[in-house]
Amino acid sequence: MSRDVKTEINQVIKELENRGFGVNSHMKQDTKGLGDVVEDVLTKFGVTEERFKKWFNLKECNCSRRKQWLNGVFSWKVNKDKK
């Protein structure tokens, strides 16, 4: 991923945060977020943070930050017994 692409993505996230869409710091154990779902699906197919960094020759991909951000933007309650 080029520096320009990462900069553009981060600018979009920053703008959405400025408009009130951001990380939900009070996430509870009884919620699941879009970031969790994306990570689960990618992991199922072998796409891990390390693999992603290797593919794009990155030292840091900010995957965890994006996951947290997606969780804050869109999350829902789940039954604790069915996690």
Write down the pTM of the prediction. 0.57
Q: For residue 47, give Cα distances in angstroms to 34, 37, 39, 72, 77.
A: 16, 13, 9, 22, 26
Give the pLDDT confidence of 7-35 residue by residue, as tens digits: 888 887 787 777 665 665 445 456 788 89
Note the pLDDT of residue 8.
Answer: 84
Residue closest to 15 by CA, chosen among 51, 54, 69 = 69
Q: Tens of pLDDT along 21-79? A: 566 544 545 678 889 888 988 888 888 999 989 999 999 988 999 999 998 888 877 66
Residue 78 confidence (pLDDT)? 67
